[in-house]
């Protein structure tokens, strides 16, 4: 089995190298040593999936709550005890605060996605960011979670697990993107072209996701897309990749779906991409703002959140909006910015991660 790029994916904790966290699975932009470690973790993960499939003869148990799964000695970091407080670089938003409601825990919240009207919120979660991916297999909680009720009052309901595998073989999912009623997600499962593939599922009512299918060989093998954002009913995908002819370690690219085929990816250009690391894109519903994660260009620690505005048919110069271990932006139609903040100790080892929000002024 070929190995895939793992520094731009988030599935079941793969990439939880605590020394460097750019997310994705809380993955890292730092190169070779962590890529090797993550690849090894994914190989072990696949082995663990196979072992779980063979050993699970009693059927699925009742799913535990997130509180049940968090270790008793887990540390819940607060803004008051945060070593690297997220720093807002723009006057257009209020200062970052933890997302209200029952979203954040002492586990790792990551990979957020909010619907344009602010009514639905998806995120990835694991109870303990320090454990390797293969140990998350079958823990009953690592994966995609869903909550609604946030529009207007921002009164989010208790999150529920998004079950995307009702078959006999186990799987692990992450990086959710909702395009209308179609959920795009990445997954380690049987039927993949690589270790981690893009998949789709259709919403069929509360807690029910049907018609799960692989996004196809072109995206998953030929283009080997990293984490993505889907636009216009699936007609365009913006994604991160370290493919040839880029500007840096990882760039943002775009591909269009036309007459049943995906076009050859086009680089988003030097206004967005530089010699560093750009990934985890999000495009607002009006198509006018591109948000993404990148290496801080202002000298702050860890990844930062950037925004680029549409200028004609291209993207304008990127502006750093939030610094200090800020990543994976998602924005509702009111302009409220949600992102992942990684809590690190003084040695820059990860403790946990929460979803933060900057409300539009």
DSSP string, 4-40: PP-TT--STTTT--TTS--BTTTB-S--HHHHHHHHH
Residues 6+ apart with CB under 8 A from 50: none
Contacts 24+ apart (CB under 8 A), 336-340: 336/114, 336/118, 336/360, 337/93, 337/291, 337/305, 338/99, 338/112, 338/114, 338/121, 339/86, 339/96, 339/112, 339/305, 340/23, 340/109, 340/110, 340/111, 340/112
Task: For residue 151, name the pLDDT band (cuts at 50, 70, 90).
Answer: low
pLDDT of the residue at 244: 93
Residue pair 24/227 in contact by the 8 Å Cβ criterion: yes
94 band by pLDDT with thresholds 50, 70 and 90:
very high
Q: Considering the chain, what is the average pLDDT of its residues?
A: 85
Strand partners, 351: none
Would you mind telling me the total number of residues written for the chain in this entry? 361
Query: Can you give the pLDDT at residue 155?
Result: 80
Q: How far is CA 78 from the centre of its chain?
A: 22
| CA pair distance 301, 298, nearest whole angstrom | 9
Q: Once rounded to an integer, what is the mean pLDDT over residues 262-286? A: 97
Per-residue pLDDT band for 183 (boundaries 50, 70, 90) equals: very high
The string of pLDDT tens digits covering residues 311-348 is: 999 999 999 999 999 999 999 999 999 999 999 999 99
Least confident interval from 7-21, 48-62, 91-105, 109-123: 7-21
Distance CA 127, CA 24 (A): 16
**Which tens digit of pLDDT belongs to each residue from 207-253?**
899 999 999 999 999 999 999 999 989 999 999 999 999 999 999 99
Looking at residue 306, its pLDDT comes to: 98
Domains and CATH numbers, the chain: 32-55+77-358 (2.115.10)
Q: Note the maximum CA span of the chain.
A: 58
Residue 14: is its pLDDT beyond 90?
no
**Rounded CA gap, 136 and 141, in Å?**
8
C-alpha–C-alpha distance, residues 129 and 357, integer Å: 21
Question: Does pLDDT of 7 surpass 90?
Answer: no
Residue among 145, 151, 172, 163 nearest 14 (CA): 172
pLDDT over 80 at 137, yes or no:
no
Report how far residue 28's alpha carbon sits from residue 35's, in angstroms, rounded to the nearest whole number. 8
Percent of the chain surpassing pLDDT 90: 71
| Rg of the chain taking only CA atoms, in angstroms | 19
Q: Which pLDDT score, from 0 to 100, does residue 228 have? A: 97
pLDDT digits (tens, 9 = 90+) for 31-78: 333 333 344 445 445 555 544 445 444 445 578 899 999 999 999 999
Compute the distance between CA of residue 143 and CA of residue 210 in angstroms, rounded to an integer: 17
Buried-state track 39-57, b at ≥16 Cβ within 10 A, e below 16: bebbebbbebbeeebeeee
* CA 358/CA 349 separation, integer angstroms: 25
Assign 28 a pLDDT band (cuts: 50, 70, 90). Answer: very low
pLDDT at 215: 97
Query: 51 versus 148: which is more confidently predicted?
Result: 148
Determine the pLDDT at residue 150: 63
Instruction: List alpha helices for the chain, DSSP H.
Output: 32-55, 66-69, 217
Q: How far is CA 65 from the centre of its chain?
A: 21
């Amino acid at each position: 089995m070929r190995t895939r790029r793992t520094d731009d994916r988030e599935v079941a904790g793969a990439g939880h190298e605590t020394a460097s966290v750019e997310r994705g699975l809380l993955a890292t932009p730092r190169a070779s040593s962590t890529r090797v470690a993550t690849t090894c973790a994914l190989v072990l993960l696949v082995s663990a999936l196979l072992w779980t499939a063979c050993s699970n003869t009693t059927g699925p148990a009742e799913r535990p709550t997130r509180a049940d799964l968090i270790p008793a000695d887990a540390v819940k970091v607060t803004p008051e005890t945060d070593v690297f407080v997220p720093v807002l670089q723009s006057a257009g938003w209020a200062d970052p605060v933890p997302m209200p409601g029952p979203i954040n825990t002492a586990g790792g919240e990551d990979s957020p996605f909010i619907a344009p009207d602010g009514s639905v919120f998806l995120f990835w979660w694991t109870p303990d960011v320090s454990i390797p991916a293969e140990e998350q297999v079958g823990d009953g909680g690592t994966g995609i979670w869903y909550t609604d009720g946030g529009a207007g009052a921002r009164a989010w309901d208790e999150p529920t697990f998004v079950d995307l595998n009702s078959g006999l073989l186990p799987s692990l999912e992450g990086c959710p993107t909702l395009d209308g009623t179609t959920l795009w997600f990445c997954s380690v499962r049987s039927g993949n072209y690589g270790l981690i593939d893009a998949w789709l599922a259709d919403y069929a009512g509360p807690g029910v996701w049907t018609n799960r299918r692989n996004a196809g060989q072109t995206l998953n093998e030929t283009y080997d897309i990293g984490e993505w954002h889907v636009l216009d009913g699936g007609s365009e995908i913006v994604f991160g990749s370290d493919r040839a002819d880029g500007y840096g370690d990882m760039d943002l690219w775009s591909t269009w779906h036309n007459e049943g085929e995906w076009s050859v990816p086009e680089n988003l250009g030097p206004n967005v991409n530089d010699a560093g690391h750009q990934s985890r894109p999000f495009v607002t519903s009006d198509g006018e703002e591109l948000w993404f994660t990148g290496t801080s260009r202002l000298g702050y620690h860890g990844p930062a959140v950037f925004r680029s505005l549409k200028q004609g048919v291209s993207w304008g110069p990127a502006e750093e909006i939030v610094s200090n271990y800020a990543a994976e932006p998602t924005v509702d139609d009111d302009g409220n910015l949600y992102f992942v903040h990684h809590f690190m100790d003084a040695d820059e080892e990860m403790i946990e991660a929460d979803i933060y929000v900057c409300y539009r002024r």
